[in-house]
């Protein structure tokens, strides 16, 4: 048995010396140069909105940009203040962020990782952006998040649904408000069991990239847990436009349910093709054949037209929600632009407000202070009910919407109806859940 000579006094002494040693470099740098990347010194602060302005997701990017412009207007005291009025935190006063007027620059991600990194880099280095936000793809989000970590700025992710963004690729400087593949699976499974029973044979078609894999994994895990069998899972190239050769063998496989782990143009085309093949009119194993789209987007649903009718999926937010936050946001956005906001617009608007609020609460633009203010932050009034920004992985935990393609839409925006609001606790998982394992937040970076 070993004997320790550690005393209380000795421990205090050692800690004090070690603490001074660790603090030393900061003491010097703080007084000699800016303490962190792009520290705002004038009367303005610049945010960087990195959204797809060209390429296949340009329409989604345009909606994100509208939301950002609205958020900036509200932060600077313009308009009706939007969700700042319903937000549970009252730190924002409509006088910019910490009294500095909010300005912004935009970048075009083109939904390509390298282009998105280049535009984010340019906004940080040339335009002095203190925070980068936006995007419509998980590949882009993961790439830009890593760049922001290196550069020492905060990244508030836009639309990114892959588990990896706050799983194996999570970073201390990155934060995601949007939900993820696991949550889609956890929210959808009970609704599917209820609607279609627990004895189903599912056939997965999966987009051959990061988001597709995590979505397939999540949906398989949750549907298999309730008794469904996965008869096949086929990966489809991201560039595929005609899915007929993938859809034609589905009926031959004996499957009675088709899960389309596709997003954007892939989803529009695969769903259209599946409906063309008449799958939904068929009976297999004595049951009506069904199609499921795990991640719905209203903008994408528009492309698939009538084909979305009656098809289940999940979504982060929908303009038909009736809570005060959602109603206020829809009113602000609708009156400014003439149509309701998309879920991409919602998450981007909320992320901007959350960032600004965290700065106010931290009393500093310093990324590590902002990160600390966001970690473990609980809030309400931003459209998804009570929400937690979990400290362990920087993922928001909130209610998830299960939606269905509407049978009788009243307009081109009225395509989805909310079937169930799945409570946050039902979609919450442990930070070390196997679907999210393999990465670490690391420590936050102030840059400079």
Partner 1 sequence: MDAIILQILNGLDKGSAYALIALGLTLIFGTLGVVNFAHGALFMIGAFCAVTLSRILSLSHQVIDETRTDFLGNPLKVDVPYIYGWFGEATGQAIIDWSVPLSLLFAIPVMILIGVAMERGLIKHFYKRPHADQILVTFGLAIVLQEIIKYYYGANPIPTPAPEAFTGSFDFGAAIGMEANQIIYPYWRLVYFAFAAVIIGAVFAFLQFTTFGMVVRAGMADRETVGLLGINIDRRFTIMFGIAAAVAGLAGVMYTPINSPNYHMGMDFLVLSFVVVVVGGMGSLPGAVLAGFLLGILESFASMKEVIDLIPGINQIIIYLVAIIILLTRPRGLMGRKGVMED
Site residues for partner 1 per CB under 8 A: 54-59, 232, 234-237, 239, 241-242, 244-246, 248-249, 251-253, 265, 268-269, 272-273, 276-278, 281-282, 284, 299-300, 302-307, 319-320, 330-331, 334-335, 339-340, 410-411, 413-414
Number of residues that make up the chain = 448
CB 280, min distance to partner 1, A: 10
**What DSSP string runs through 68-85?**
HHHHHHHHTT-TT-GGGT
Our CB check for partner 1 shows the closer of 325 and 447 to be: 325
Taking CA 94 as the corner, what is the angle to CA 68 and CA 383, rounded to the nearest 5 degrees? 55
CB 329, min distance to partner 1, A: 11
CB 375, min distance to partner 1, A: 35
Instruction: Give the SS3 label for residue 179.
Output: coil
Half-sphere exposure of 340 (CA within 13 A, CB side): 19
CB 303, min distance to partner 1, A: 4
Distance (Å, whole) CA 186 – CA 448: 41
256, 200 in Cβ contact below 8 A?
yes
Q: What is the per-residue burial (b if ≥16 Cβ within 10 Å, else e) of 391-428?
A: eebbbbbbbbbbbbbbeebeeebebbeebbbbebeebb
Our CB check for partner 1 shows the closer of 113 and 272 to be: 272
Our CB check for partner 1 shows the closer of 134 and 367 to be: 134
Our CB check for partner 1 shows the closer of 101 and 302 to be: 302
Instruction: Report the DSSP beta bridge partners of residue 44.
Output: 101
Q: Tokens 């098809």 identify what position?
A: 311
Our CB check for partner 1 shows the closer of 192 and 300 to be: 300
CB 130, min distance to partner 1, A: 30
Our CB check for partner 1 shows the closer of 273 and 422 to be: 273
Instruction: Give the SS3 label for residue 288.
Output: strand
- N- to C-terminal Cα separation, the chain: 49
Instruction: Give the SS3 label for residue 213.
Output: helix
CB 228, min distance to partner 1, A: 19
Our CB check for partner 1 shows the closer of 89 and 269 to be: 269
What one-character DSSP code corresponds to residue 310? T
Instruction: Report the DSSP beta bridge partners of residue 319.
Output: none
Taking CA 426 as the corner, what is the angle to CA 424 and CA 428, rounded to the nearest 5 degrees? 65
Our CB check for partner 1 shows the closer of 317 and 377 to be: 317
Sign, CA torsion 59/63/64/66: positive
Q: Tokens 């280095």 identify what position?
A: 125
CB 345, min distance to partner 1, A: 13
Our CB check for partner 1 shows the closer of 13 and 282 to be: 282
What would the two tokens of residue 388 be?
A: 């937690």
């Amino acid at each position: 048995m070993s004997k320790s000579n550690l005393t209380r006094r000795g421990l205090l002494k050692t800690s004090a010396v070690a603490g001074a040693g660790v603090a030393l470099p900061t003491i010097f740098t703080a007084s000699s140069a800016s303490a962190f990347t792009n520290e705002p010194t004038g009367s303005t602060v610049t945010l960087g909105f990195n959204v797809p302005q060209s390429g296949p997701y340009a329409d989604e990017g345009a909606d994100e940009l509208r939301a950002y412009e609205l958020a900036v207007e509200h932060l600077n005291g313009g308009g009706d203040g939007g969700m700042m009025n319903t937000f549970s935190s009252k730190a924002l006063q409509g006088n910019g962020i910490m009294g500095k007027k909010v300005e912004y620059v935009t970048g075009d991600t083109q939904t390509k990782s390298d282009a998105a990194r280049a535009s984010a880099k340019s906004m940080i280095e040339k335009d002095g952006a203190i925070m980068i936000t936006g995007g419509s793809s998980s590949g882009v989000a993961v790439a830009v998040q890593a760049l922001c970590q290196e550069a020492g700025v905060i990244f508030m992710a836009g639309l990114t649904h892959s588990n990896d963004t706050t799983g194996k690729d999570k970073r201390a400087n990155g934060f995601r408000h949007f939900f993820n593949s696991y949550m889609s699976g956890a929210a959808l499974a009970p609704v599917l069991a209820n609607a279609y029973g627990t004895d189903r044979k599912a056939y997965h078609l999966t987009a051959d990239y990061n988001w597709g894999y995590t979505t397939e994994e999540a949906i398989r895990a949750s549907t298999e847990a309730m008794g469904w069998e996965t008869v096949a899972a086929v990966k489809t190239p991201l560039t595929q436009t005609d899915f007929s050769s993938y859809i034609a063998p589905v009926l031959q496989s004996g499957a009675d349910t088709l899960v389309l782990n596709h997003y954007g143009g892939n989803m529009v085309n695969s769903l259209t093709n599946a409906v063309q093949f008449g799958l939904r009119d068929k009976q297999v194993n004595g049951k009506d054949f069904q199609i499921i789209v795990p991640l719905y987007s209203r903008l994408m649903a528009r492309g698939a037209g009538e084909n979305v009718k009656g098809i289940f999926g999940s979504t982060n937010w929908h303009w038909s929600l009736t809570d005060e936050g959602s109603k206020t946001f829809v009113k602000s956005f609708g009156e400014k632009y003439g149509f309701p906001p998309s879920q991409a617009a919602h998450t981007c608007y909320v992320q901007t407000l959350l960032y600004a609020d965290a700065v106010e609460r931290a009393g500093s633009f310093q990324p590590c202070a902002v990160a600390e203010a966001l970690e473990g932050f609980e809030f309400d009034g931003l459209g998804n009910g009570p929400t937690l920004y979990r400290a362990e992985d920087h993922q928001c935990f909130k209610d998830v919407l299960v939606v269905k393609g509407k049978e009788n839409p009243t307009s081109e925006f009225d395509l989805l109806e909310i079937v169930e609001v799945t409570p946050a606790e039902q979609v919450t998982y442990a930070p070390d859940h196997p679907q999210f394992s393999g990465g670490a937040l690391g420590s936050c970076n102030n840059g400079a």
